[in-house]
Structure 1
């Protein structure tokens, strides 16, 4: 079993999973392999004991970090928001764009296609820069 926890940003969507800040989520091996090493995540392989059906107490002892991560106290301040260019946005897939729309307070289901998602993101980024939010 594998878990991943988003440690930077508000939400992140990948391979059918939507991650929210500081919420650990069970994931499949291929998602673990994709996210392991991503600075926005803490990924772990949880080894459940085959002999002992106790998973609550036992799994906490068996958790082995996939790699060393920086302490969680060093999270980025919420005021630092990544500003995406139109070129960057065009290079992203739908899921990545939808995650950004959600971060900006939008509803991706209200946007019909890629061009509407990009326009929404660019417009809302400008509004956030002006208001300083």
Structure 2
């Protein structure tokens, strides 16, 4: 696992994963290895001791998600592999989180 942070530019899409400037994101080893020589990114190898931190132990609920802030919604969407810029309001963010969560549970 690697923690990748965009250093230059506003946002950057690599293989369907969207990076925003200054916002660290944990990626798998394959993507981290691909990106580590790119000067646009800061890539730091992370130990895999807590792989469950990306997906919650309890599933998100619609009522629980409605209590969260926009930044928290965006963080969850990114952690689930979605694009937070593809939705425009809180209801759409909540729907996207629930959809992404359901897709991951089916894998």
- TM score, norm. by length of structure 2: 0.52
Verify the 8 A CA contact 2:82 2:100 in the aligned structure 1.
Answer: no
Match of 2:98? 122
Q: Aligned partners of 1:80, 1:93: CA distance in 2, in Å?
A: 18
Verify the 8 A CA contact 2:54 2:80 in the aligned structure 1.
Answer: no
Deviation at 1:121, TM superposition (A): 0.4
**Higher Rg:** 1
Q: What SS does the aligned partner of 1:18 have? A: coil
Match of 2:16? none
Residues 39-90 of structure 1: CA deviation (Å, up to 9, x unaligned): xxxxxxxxxxxxxxxxxxxxxxxxxxxxxxxxx8683224972121112211
Q: Aligned partners of 1:19, 1:120: CA distance in 2, in Å?
A: 21
Change (3 A) 1:74 1:127: closer
Question: Please, which runs of 5 or more residues in structure 1 have no aligned partner?
Answer: 1-5, 7-16, 22-71
Question: Please, which runs of 5 or more residues in structure 2 have no aligned partner?
Answer: 4-21, 27-45
Q: How many residues align?
A: 69
Q: 2:86 aligns with which of 93, 107, 110?
A: 110
Would you identify which runs of 4 or more consecutive aligned residues in structure 1 move more than 4 Å?
none
Give RMSD over aligned pairs. 3.0
Change (3 A) 1:103 1:88: same
Q: 1:94 aligns with which of 53, 66, 70?
A: 70
